Amino acid sequence: MTERIVVVGAALLDGDRLLAARRSAPPELAGRWELPGGKVEPGERPEEALVRELREELGVDARTVERVPGEWPLRPPYALQVWTARLEPASAAPAPLQDHDGLRWLTPGEIWDVDWLDQDIPAVREVATRLRAGERAGADAGEPPQAAADRD
Ligand SMILES: Nc1nc2c([nH]c(=O)n2[C@H]2C[C@H](O)[C@@H](COP(=O)(O)OP(=O)(O)OP(=O)(O)O)O2)c(=O)[nH]1
């Protein structure tokens, strides 16, 4: 029997900006953008895994804030869960130390400007919806052009 393995992704926020990370490997994912994170190790809580992965991959000191409702299938046996997270005040700025070769802080209006991994789009859409709901005025987080078609 194959166990499901949780991959945790961070919706790392700076104000209302979301950090997107461009994967450098493996070849089939390289060049596409994702929420930084990684696999939860045996005995580890997802939030701990996320803080560890953000330290390893980006060199930052971050804390998780809340779970983004939902779970999104990746290639079996993996499934993506997402937490919002913020940098601790004394944290270094994120740097692409491991697994990534580019980082971008996206304003709500820029969220769909990067080529997200297909499997991340539903999760990013949920994050965008929550950011938009948290706004009192101003920019619109929008949705990807294919969102309406996907809803058939
Ligand atoms: N981190 C992350 N991985 C994702 C996302 N979307 C997605 O399909 N994946 C895939 C890529 C990988 O096959 C798997 C997680 O791998 P990873 O390479 O980030 O995890 P890890 O750091 O624990 O990797 P490793 O120890 O095996 O090197 O999930 C995402 O948004 N974030």
Taken as a whole, the chain contains a residue count of 152
123 with 82: CB under 8 angstroms? yes
Regarding the beta carbon of 49 and ligand 1, being less than 6 Å apart is answered no
Nearest CA to ligand 1 atom 29: 7
How many angstroms separate the CA atoms of 55 and 92, rounded?
10
How many angstroms separate the CA atoms of 52 and 37, rounded?
9
Q: What angle (nearest 5°) sits at the alpha carbon of residue 144, between those of residues 150 and 85?
A: 110
Residue 136 has pLDDT above 70, yes or no: no
Residue 112 has pLDDT above 70, yes or no: yes
DSSP 48-102: HHHHHHHHHHH---EEEEEEEEEEEE-STTEEEEEEEEEE-TTPPPP---SSEEE
Whether ipTM > 0.95 holds is: no
Computed from CA positions of residues 13, 19, 25, 30, in that sequence, does the dihedral angle turn out positive or negative? positive
* 68-109 tens-digit pLDDT: 999 999 999 999 999 999 999 999 999 999 999 999 999 999
More confident residue, 1 or 111: 111
Regarding the beta carbon of 40 and ligand 1, being less than 6 Å apart is answered no
pTM comes to: 0.88
Regarding the beta carbon of 35 and ligand 1, being less than 6 Å apart is answered yes
* 18-57 tens-digit pLDDT: 999 999 999 999 999 999 999 999 999 999 999 999 999 9
CATH (residue range 5-147) = 3.90.79.10
Between the CA of 47 and the centroid of ligand 1 the distance, in Å, is 15
Regarding the beta carbon of 99 and ligand 1, being less than 6 Å apart is answered yes
How many angstroms separate the CA atoms of 69 and 115, rounded?
23
| Domain ranges for the chain | 5-147
* 118-128 tens-digit pLDDT: 999 999 999 99
Residue 10 has pLDDT above 70, yes or no: yes
Regarding the beta carbon of 108 and ligand 1, being less than 6 Å apart is answered no
